[in-house]
Structure 1
Amino acid sequence: MSLSLLSRYAFFAACLLSTLIGLAFLDQTWLWPVLLLTAALSLIGIGDLLQTRQAVRRNYPILGNIRYLVEGIRPEIRQYLLEGDGDKLPFSRAQRSLVYARAKNEGAGKAFGTLLDVYQNGYEFISHSMRPAPLADPASFRVSIGGPQCRQPYSASLFNISAMSFGSLSGNAIKALNKGARLGDFAHDTGEGSISPHHREHGGDLIWEIGSGYFGCRDSEGRFDPQRFAEQAASPQVKMIEIKLSQGAKPGHGGILPKHKITAEISATRGVPMGQDCVSPSRHSTFSSPLELLQFIAQLRELSDGKPVGFKLCLGHPWEFMGIAKAMLESGILPDFIVIDGTEGGTGAAPLEFTDHLGVPMREGLLFVHNTLVGLNLRDQIRLGASGKIVSAFDIACVLAIGADWANAARGFMFAIGCIQSQSCHTNKCPTGVATQDPLRQRALVVEDKAQRVHNFHRNTLEALAEMLAAAGLEHPDQLDARHLVRRMSATEIKLFAQQHQFLKPGELLEGPIASDFYARMWQMARADSFEAAQA
C-alpha cells in the first residue's frame, strides 16, 4: 500500500479503529464521549466513500469535508482559507464559479452589479439593441463542416470539447466527457493520444486528433500506417480527422510520456510498447512542406471515405501559414477546417518559457487565418474553430465576431467534471480523479454524475449565448460580427472590434492592391514548396 494511500485514509482508519476499540470497553463510561465522536466521524467517512457527487470527499474521507465547510462560510474568508490568491491560477475564481454553477444547473447571477472594473483597459462588452430579438433555440447553433472535396460533412455544435488525451486524463474523465457529449449532441476531440476504449463506451461523436507520434495509426517504427488509420477512421463514431501541427501551450515542442506511466491500456490505445518512453516528436515525419501537408490531408480524406479532414495549429511565423494558403491555390487541395489554438492554451507538460512566451495568442492567430482565407476567396469553403481559454458564452461571442465558426473548450469541461486546479496533474495524484491513472483516485470521479454536468455546462453556456445575442438584436450567431463587440482602450476611449482590428476584403491578396503592408510582405515571403521564407 502506497504512502499516499495511507495518508489519504489514515484519519478515517484511525477513527474506525478507535471506534472498534471503544466498543470493546463499553464498561468504561469515561470513554463514551470519545467513542461517540469517533463513531460519528466514522459514519461520515463511510458516507463520503459511498456518495457519488463530490470526488474530493471520496478520495479524502472525513478530511475532504473541510473544503466544503469552508465554501459555506463568508466569501472573503473562503478566498484566503480555501483558494488563496486564486486569481493567479490559469483560470480565475470567477471563471471556475461560472462553470461549476452551470454544470450543476445553478443560477450564475451576481447580486449588486459586476465585480469587473468597467473603466480598466481591456474591459470588453457586447453592445445591446434598443429592439432585442426573439430568443433563438440554442439547438440550432450548429455549423456544417465539410468543403467541396468532402463526402461526409459533419453538422457540429457551436461549442465542443477540445483536445485532451487519455493518459493525460483518466479513463473515468474520458468516459464522463464523452457521455456528456453524447447527451448534448456535440463533439469530443480525442487529443493526440488516440481513441481509447473509454472514448468508445458511450458512443459520443469524436474528432480524432493525429499528432506527430501518429498514435493509433503508426507502425513499429513510429511512422504513419495507412491501413491502421483506415481501420480506425471507419468507425461511425469518428466524425472528423484533425492533424495537430502544434498546440498553444508548447508550439514547436515535442513530448515524452515516461515509461513508468504507460499502462497496458495506454500501450494498446497508442500502439506503443510498454517499458519504453513514448515520444511525440516536435514535427511530423509524413510531410515537410505546405504542399506535402495538403497531399497528406487528401490522403487521409480518401482513407476515411471522405470524412472532413483539417488541421490544428498555434500560429507561429505568419509566412508559414500563408505558404499553406499558397499551396491550396497551387494544388487545389483544401482542408475542410482549421482549428486555431493560442499560446494561452493549457497543458500539464509545457516548459514555463513556452507557456509564457512562445506562440501567437488565439485571437490574433484567428484573425490572421481568417483574413488570409478571405483575401484568397477561400473563406466560405473552409470552416474555422477557435480554442484557447474559452469558458463563457461571452468568450464564444468574441471569437465568432472576428472570424470563428465554432469554439472548443478544454479546461471549462474539466471544471465541469470536477477539476479544482490543484496543479498536481504531473504527479498522478489528482485529488478529484480527473488527471490521474491511479485506479483508486479516479474511482472518485463518478461517470454518470459528471457526464450530466458536462451536458449541463454545454447546454447552459449556449443558452447564455442565445440570451446575449437576443439582447444585441440578433437571432443567430451567424449575424454576429466585429461591429457588435467593444473594447476599452483607455479610461477615455473605447473601440468597436471593427475599428480595432484590420479586416481584408474578399480577394484582396489575389487581386490587390493589398492595403496592409504587413499582409503584403508576409504574402511575398510565403512559399508553397517550403516552410522557409522567401527573400522579400
Structure 2
Amino acid sequence: MNAISLAFTPRYVVLTLCVLVAVVCLVLSFVYSGFLIPFVIAAALVGLGAHDLLQTRHSILRNYPIAARIRFLLEEIRPEIRQYFLESDTDGAPFSRDQRSIVYQRAKGQLDKKPFGTQLDVYGTPFEWLSHSIAARRPSKGPFRVTIGGPDCKQPYSASVFNISAMSFGALSANAVRALNKGAKKGGFAHDTGEGGFSPYHREYGGDIIWEIGSGYFGCRNPDGTFSAERFSETVANPQIKMVEIKLSQGAKPGHGGVLPGAKVSAEIAATRGVPQGVDCISPPSHSAFSTPLELMQFIARLRELSGGRPVGFKLCVGHPWEFLGICKAMLESGIYPDFIVVDGTEGGTGAAPLEFIDHVGMPLRDGLMFVHNALVGLGIRDRIRVGASGKITTAFDLARALALGADWCNAARGFMFALGCIQSQSCHTDRCPVGVTSQDPLRMRALVVPDKAERVYRFHRSTLKALAEVVAAAGLEHPKDLQPRHFSQRVAPNLVQRFDQIYRFVKPGELLAGTDDPRFADAWRTARADSFAPG
C-alpha cells in the first residue's frame, strides 16, 4: 500500500484532511490574512493527530488519530454515555458492564470501586452471593498456587490459581501474544498457547507456557496433518513449556474444530502452523491420533514420556455424559491418568464460530465442572487429577465460585483481552481489529504497544488475586482452597434462598464404583465404554 492510498484509508482520513486543510490555509494566508486562524486550528489538529499516532496508552488513538477522540469526548459528557460506550451490556455482548469495567480499572491501575451499591436481578435482590463471616480475617498475601502433576509426572508444575486461557497466535496478533507472555512472566502465571502452536512470540519473553495441542496438531504435525512425535519432541524440549494440554473440544464451538479465516493466515502464521497461506485454517472436529477413550489414555502416556515427564492433560467442553465417563473407565482399566483436566464452558469465547454453536451447543461451565468433579470423586480418583475451569471467568467472585464448585484453578481469555485494550468491536474474524489485538495487519498491530499492555496484563492478574484474597478473607477463610459450596447462596425464587450445597448434589467418594442411583450418572455410567466413545 503506497503512502497516498494509506493516507486516505478510513482510519487516517480525518488526519489527512486536517493536513490538507492546514496546507491550503497556509498557502492562502499569504494572500488573505483571514485564513491565518483556520491554519492555526488545522495545524493544531495535525499536531494532535501526530501525538495520537505516537502515544502508547490508547491503541484506538494510534489506529484512528483524532477521529477516535470523539469516543473519548462522549465518554466525558455524561456518566450515562460513558457507561453505554464502554460498559453496556447489549444483547449478545459477551461481558456484562461490571465485568468489563473491573478489567479496565484493574489493568490500568485505577480504583476498582464503585458507588451506589449492588447490581440487582429481576427480583430486586442479588442473585448469588458469598456469605461473609463475623470472624473475618486479614487478607492473605498468597501466593495462591496449585501443584499440577500426578504420580507418573516427573516435572510437576506450580501454577497460579488464575492464568491466561487458550488464545492462538493467528487469532491474536504477534504484539498481543508478546504482551500476554511478558505480563505472565512478570506476574509468575501461565500462558496457554491455544491450538495455533508455540510461536516465536510466545518464546520472546520467557513466560511459563501451557502448550495446547488440538486436532490440527499445529507445531507437531506431519505434512498430511497427522501427529508427529519427532516435531513434538523437538518443541517440547524448550524448558519454557511447563504443561501439555490436549484440546478435545472448545466451549464456544464444541465438536466444530478451530477456525482461522484465510484473511488472517499470513506467511508467518502458515509457517508456524504448517498450513497453506491465505487459506481458511480449519482444524478437524476430532483427533486422528486416537479414536477411543483407551487410545486417548495411551496418547496421554506417550506425550508424557516424550515430554520428559511434564504434566499432560486434556481440555473439553462436556457433551454426552457417557463419553466422559468412558474416559474415566479407560483410566481405571489402563491405569493411565491425566495429570489435569480443564473444563471449558459453553460461555467460552472465540474469534469465529457459527451462531448456533456459540449459543446452543455444549454444557455451561458450572454444570460441566460439577459433572467432572463429581465423576472423579465418585470413582475415588479426584486426589490425583487437578481440575481447571474456563468460560467467562473475570472477577474474583467468578474465581471463588468456580473453586468452591470443584476447580483447582481457573483460566481467563477475554478478561486478559480487555487488559490488552480490546473494545469488543466483534471484528476479530475480519482482520480489522481497531486496536490491534486480533489483527495480523502490521499497521493495525502497531497500535498495541507491548510494554504498556504487558504491564496492564500483569496489573489485572495481580489486582484480581488481591481481590480474591479479600473475598476469601471476608468469608473467614485463609486460602481459596478452603472455599466450599456452603459458603455461597442463590435466590431460586422470590421467596426462597438456598446454599449451593442445598441446590446441588455432590456424590460421595467411591459412589460410582459402589453403584449409584443418581440420575446424572447411573445410566451414563452403565452405558459408558472404555473401548469406544459410543454408548454400549
What's the TM-score, normalizing by structure 2? 0.96
Q: Which string of whole-angstrom CA distances, capped at 9 and with x for unpartnered residues, describes residues 466-510 of structure 1?
A: 001101000001110101011110111111111111101011111
Please say if 1:63 is aligned against 2:89: no
Instruction: Tell me: CA distance 1:120–1:316, structure 2 relative to 1, closer, same or farther (3 Å).
Output: farther
Range 155-164 or range 76-85, more displaced: 76-85
Matches within 5 A, 1:87-98: 88-98=92-102
- 8 Å CA contact 2:88–2:97 kept in 1: the answer is no
Match of 1:124 in 2: 128
- 8 Å CA contact 2:53–2:65 kept in 1: the answer is yes
CA distance in 2, matches of 1:221, 1:526: 32
Match of 1:446 in 2: 449
- 8 Å CA contact 2:343–2:387 kept in 1: the answer is yes
- 8 Å CA contact 1:120–1:491 kept in 2: the answer is no
Match of 1:266 in 2: 269
Please say if 1:404 is aligned against 2:393: no
Matches within 5 A, 1:341-360: 341-360=344-363
In structure 2, give the amino acid aligned to 1:138. G
Match of 2:535 in 1: 533
Matches within 5 A, 1:112-151: 112-117=116-121, 119=123, 123-139=127-143, 141-151=144-154
In structure 2, give the amino acid aligned to 1:231. E
Q: What is the number of equivalent residue pairs in this alignment? A: 532
In structure 1, give the amino acid aligned to 2:250. Q
Instruction: Tell me: CA distance 1:160–1:8, structure 2 relative to 1, closer, same or farther (3 Å).
Output: same
In structure 1, give the amino acid aligned to 2:345. G
* Equivalent position to 2:478, from 442, 467, 475: 475
Please say if 1:378 is aligned against 2:375: no
* Equivalent position to 1:413, from 410, 413, 416: 416
Match of 1:190 in 2: 193
CA distance in 1, matches of 2:340, 2:409: 11
Range 372-381 or range 263-272, more displaced: 263-272
Match of 1:486 in 2: 489
* Equivalent position to 1:18, from 7, 18, 21: 21
In structure 2, give the amino acid aligned to 1:345. G
Instruction: Tell me: CA distance 1:91–1:80, structure 2 relative to 1, closer, same or farther (3 Å).
Output: closer
* Equivalent position to 1:74, from 60, 72, 78: 78
In structure 1, list runs of 5 or more residues that go unmatched. none
* Equivalent position to 2:225, from 222, 227, 243: 222
CA distance in 1, matches of 2:368, 2:247: 15
Q: Which string of whole-angstrom CA distances, capped at 9 and with x for unpartnered residues, describes residues 210-263 of structure 1?
A: 000000000110000000001111100000000000000110012443444321
Please say if 1:395 is aligned against 2:398: yes
Match of 1:30 in 2: 34
Q: Which string of whole-angstrom CA distances, capped at 9 and with x for unpartnered residues, describes residues 314-364 of structure 1?
A: 000001000000000000000000000011111121111111111000110
Instruction: Tell me: CA distance 1:93–1:517, structure 2 relative to 1, closer, same or farther (3 Å).
Output: closer
- 8 Å CA contact 1:133–1:470 kept in 2: the answer is yes
- 8 Å CA contact 1:79–1:86 kept in 2: the answer is no
What's the TM-score, normalizing by structure 1? 0.96
SS of alignment partner, residue 17 of structure 1:
helix
In structure 1, give the amino acid aligned to 2:525. W
SS of alignment partner, residue 367 of structure 1:
helix
Please say if 1:100 is aligned against 2:104: yes
**Once the 2 structures are TM-superposed, how far is the Cα of residue 71 of structure 1 from its aligned partner?**
1.5
Match of 1:495 in 2: 498
CA distance in 2, matches of 1:121, 1:488: 8
SS of alignment partner, residue 334 of structure 1:
coil
- 8 Å CA contact 1:384–1:404 kept in 2: the answer is yes
CA distance in 2, matches of 1:217, 1:414: 27
Match of 1:323 in 2: 326
CA distance in 1, matches of 2:87, 2:388: 33
**Once the 2 structures are TM-superposed, how far is the Cα of residue 270 of structure 1 from its aligned partner?**
0.8
**Once the 2 structures are TM-superposed, how far is the Cα of residue 8 of structure 1 from its aligned partner?**
1.0
- 8 Å CA contact 1:311–1:335 kept in 2: the answer is yes
SS of alignment partner, residue 373 of structure 1:
helix
In structure 2, list runs of 5 or more residues that go unmatched. none
**Once the 2 structures are TM-superposed, how far is the Cα of residue 87 of structure 1 from its aligned partner?**
6.1
CA distance in 2, matches of 1:87, 1:211: 31
Matches within 5 A, 1:155-304: 155-274=158-277, 276-304=279-307
SS of alignment partner, residue 6 of structure 1:
coil
**Once the 2 structures are TM-superposed, how far is the Cα of residue 20 of structure 1 from its aligned partner?**
2.3
- 8 Å CA contact 1:87–1:93 kept in 2: the answer is no
Range 417-426 or range 23-32, more displaced: 23-32
Range 64-73 or range 230-239, more displaced: 64-73
CA distance in 1, matches of 2:365, 2:518: 21
CA distance in 2, matches of 1:522, 1:213: 30
Percent identical among aligned pairs is: 64
SS of alignment partner, residue 135 of structure 1:
coil
Range 246-255 or range 389-398, more displaced: 246-255
**Once the 2 structures are TM-superposed, how far is the Cα of residue 167 of structure 1 from its aligned partner?**
0.5
**Once the 2 structures are TM-superposed, how far is the Cα of residue 121 of structure 1 from its aligned partner?**
8.0
In structure 2, give the amino acid aligned to 1:97. S
